[in-house]
Chain A
Amino acid sequence: MSLTSYFMEATYLVASILFILSLKMMSHPDTARRGMFLAEGGMFAAIIGTLVGAHIISWVWIIAGLTVGSIIGAWMAITVPMTAMPQRTALSHAFGALAAALVGVGEFLVKINEMPGITRGALGFEIMLGALTTTGSLIAAGKLQGVIQGKPVQFKGQNFVNLAIGLGMVGCFLFFWIHPEAHAVFYSMLGLAFVFGVALVIPIGSADMPVVMSLLNSYAGLAAAATGFVLGNNVLIIAGTLDGFSGFILSVLMCKAMNRSIINVLFGGFGSVIAEASTDTGGVMREISLDDAAMQLAFANRVIFVPGYGLATAQAQHAVRELGELLESRGVTVKYAIHPVAGRMPGHMNVLLAEANVPYSSLYEMEQINPEFPSTDVAVVIGANDVVNPDARDNPKSLIAGMPILEVDRAKSVIVLKRGQGRGFSGLENPLFFKSCTSMLYGDAKASLSHLAQAVQHV
């Protein structure tokens, strides 16, 4: 090995250590940002190491790619609004996975004849995971952005068709593994993987996006790890595996938070079977006037805000913070209760509220906050529905039975901010809205919250 190769390997080792340290520092918001600087340093070192040690002879494509990529990446990082974070992350998964798939195709073009069987196997995984993650993430991003309809797209025999595509892809992979000279089969595998990604995500509704996002995150990481196996490169294996496992852990957490299995999320097509099983609660929803709601809030001792995806769509994070601060200045204790699957990706609500300058010490996880609802005077539900549906706890026949919820119905009174009288995203009836302690405040969440703040000032 030449000196430059040793240098390259050394930078890879440094990068691996820095990546792990940076994720360790992610365990607390105070250290997380410094941790990211370490990861950036590791990435930079690995790039320099590669350019020095990998026998680069033509620089044109490299410089062009780095320049174009940096410009687009920086532009995205600066301009994307926080409310669009889920679709940006999905898009990012697509880019990463596409890079892995393309590297796989490149290796195939150049080295297939000298590739031993083991490497061909890894190459197959790299191509399949990379390609299906690319199209799957693009579909997810399209759904989140609203370019593609968010409702599950389903047809009869869909699972059968998906199974056939998946088996076809795996079949091509096995054939290619044994017969590397069959180029057509290789490209069929690539094509089928692209189709399979679409087929996997199309039937899943937007409300299940936290799970899908986590899974795609995992796949993108595993694709990078498989690239590492093909190239015999340890830093790729380590970084890819970290990403793969992070995504896997998040998917498990998200599924737990919905009391559903991954299989059920992927193939259940939740939200399409409009619940006929839902109990007809038969009550009436009681509407409340702005002034009455403001009065309740102003004279409460403890108020808990419960944000959901509606907060993001209404861009109401700043309005809720203003109302919260106003109440705090009157001596009210204000907290925020965050359900793990509120929003469209893990941690979505936390980021939005942080953007609006809500200190993270006011944000509470479900297990922490649930015991506090009985001693809470007013719980304000902002555009959340299923995560506060008491049917999940009380009605074993409910579609979401067993899903852990924020127990807002135990609060002394509940104000629900809602756009209109319709059902929530999953189409389930929510008995919370009919309880005697609950009152409804209809209208755009952002407008309602700022009007509430004005009204509180005048109390």
Chain B
Amino acid sequence: MNPAALIASVYVFALAAFLGYQVISRVPPLLHTPLMSATNAISGISLIGSLVLAGARGYTLPAHILGFVAVTTATINVVGGFGITDRMLKMFRKKPAAANVEAK
């Protein structure tokens, strides 16, 4: 990484942090568990780094093996994380209209 690329990356980091703060502080406490599990699944994006390690040109066998383990754990994270988040979000339901007698 050269200095120019570093600066660009720092920009991306800072903007993502700012955006993340804006977006995530709007998530209600009701959904904090699904939020945690969703962001965790999303950060399983390190899977793409693992894929490169496991099979790309220019990497040695030990790196491929490390990559295999990393692909496995990252995939568990992605598949398990999205799966369970969806299972949780499916459960959140509104009050059925008929029973909605409570005055607000």
Q: Which chain A residue has the least Cβ–Cβ distance from B43?
A: A243
Does A345 reach chain B (CB closer than 8 Å)? yes
- Decide: A66 near B71, CB < 8 A? Known: A46-B45, A237-B9, A357-B93: yes
CB-based contact A50/B27 at 8 Å: no
Q: Mark A411-425, 1 if CB is under 8 A from B, else 0.
A: 000000000000000
B77's partner among A64, A92, A235 (CB-CB below 8 A) is: A92
Within 8 Å CB of A57, what residues of B? 55-57
B89's partner among A33, A46, A242 (CB-CB below 8 A) is: A33
Does A170 reach chain B (CB closer than 8 Å)? no
CB-based contact B34/A103 at 8 Å: no
CB-based contact A29/B92 at 8 Å: yes
Within 8 Å CB of B19, what residues of A? 20, 242
Within 8 Å CB of A100, what residues of B? 46, 49
A232 CA to B52 CA in the complex, in Å?
Answer: 13
Does A68 reach chain B (CB closer than 8 Å)? yes
Q: Smallest distance from the beta carbon of B65 to chain A beta carbons, Å?
A: 7
CB-based contact A106/B70 at 8 Å: yes
CB-based contact B70/A360 at 8 Å: no
Q: Which chain A residue has the least Cβ–Cβ distance from B1?
A: A119
CB-based contact B30/A36 at 8 Å: no
- Decide: A69 near B40, CB < 8 A? Known: A54-B51, A99-B47: no
Complex interface residues of chain B between 74 and 104 (CB less than 8 A to chain A): 74-96, 99-100, 102
A351's partner among B3, B16, B80, B91 (CB-CB below 8 A) is: B91
- Decide: A66 near B75, CB < 8 A? Known: A29-B30, A350-B29: yes
Within 8 Å CB of A153, what residues of B? none
CB-based contact B76/A69 at 8 Å: yes
Q: Which chain A residue has the least Cβ–Cβ distance from B100?
A: A361
CB-based contact B102/A247 at 8 Å: no
- Decide: A241 near B13, CB < 8 A? Known: A116-B1, A350-B30, A360-B30: yes
Within 8 Å CB of A236, what residues of B? 45-46, 48-49
CB-based contact A61/B36 at 8 Å: no
Complex interface residues of chain B between 1 and 37 (CB less than 8 A to chain A): 1-3, 5-6, 9, 12-13, 16-17, 19-21, 23-37
Within 8 Å CB of B87, what residues of A? 77-78
CB-based contact B82/A43 at 8 Å: yes
- Decide: A347 near B32, CB < 8 A? Known: A43-B42, A102-B70: yes
Number of residues in B with C-beta < 8 Å to the partner? 89
Within 8 Å CB of A56, what residues of B? 51-52, 55-57
A32 CA to B35 CA in the complex, in Å?
Answer: 9
A227 CA to B6 CA in the complex, in Å?
Answer: 13
- Decide: A47 near B76, CB < 8 A? Known: A29-B89, A239-B42, A249-B21: no
CB-based contact A58/B55 at 8 Å: yes
A221 CA to B16 CA in the complex, in Å?
Answer: 12
Does A181 reach chain B (CB closer than 8 Å)? no
CB-based contact B80/A73 at 8 Å: yes
Complex interface residues of chain A between 89 and 130 (CB less than 8 A to chain B): 89, 92-93, 95-96, 98-100, 102-103, 105-107, 109-110, 116, 118-119, 122
Number of residues in A with C-beta < 8 Å to the partner? 117
A28 CA to B31 CA in the complex, in Å?
Answer: 8
CB-based contact B34/A231 at 8 Å: no
Most B CB atoms within 10 A — which of A76, A92, A253, A363? A92
CB-based contact A110/B45 at 8 Å: no
Q: Smallest distance from the beta carbon of A165 to chain B beta carbons, Å?
A: 24
- Decide: A213 near B95, CB < 8 A? Known: A76-B84, A243-B43: no
Complex interface residues of chain A between 315 and 360 (CB less than 8 A to chain B): 328, 333, 338, 340, 345-348, 350-351, 354-355, 357, 359-360
Does A23 reach chain B (CB closer than 8 Å)? yes
Within 8 Å CB of B51, what residues of A? 47, 50-51, 54, 56, 62
Does A156 reach chain B (CB closer than 8 Å)? no
- Decide: A234 near B12, CB < 8 A? Known: A61-B64, A74-B80, A213-B36: yes
Does A291 reach chain B (CB closer than 8 Å)? no
Q: A55-B57, A76-B84, A102-B67 are in contact. List 6 more A-B contacts (CB 8 A).
A: A20-B19, A61-B64, A88-B80, A229-B13, A242-B23, A360-B92
Lowest 6 CB-CB distances: which A-B pairs, in order?
A69-B75, A77-B83, A65-B71, A73-B79, A347-B32, A73-B80
Q: What are 12 A-B pairs with beta-carbon distances under 8 A?
A: A15-B45, A26-B38, A33-B86, A43-B47, A62-B67, A65-B71, A85-B33, A89-B40, A102-B66, A235-B48, A241-B20, A242-B24
B residues neighboring A (CB under 8 Å): 1-3, 5-6, 9, 12-13, 16-17, 19-21, 23-60, 62-96, 99-100, 102
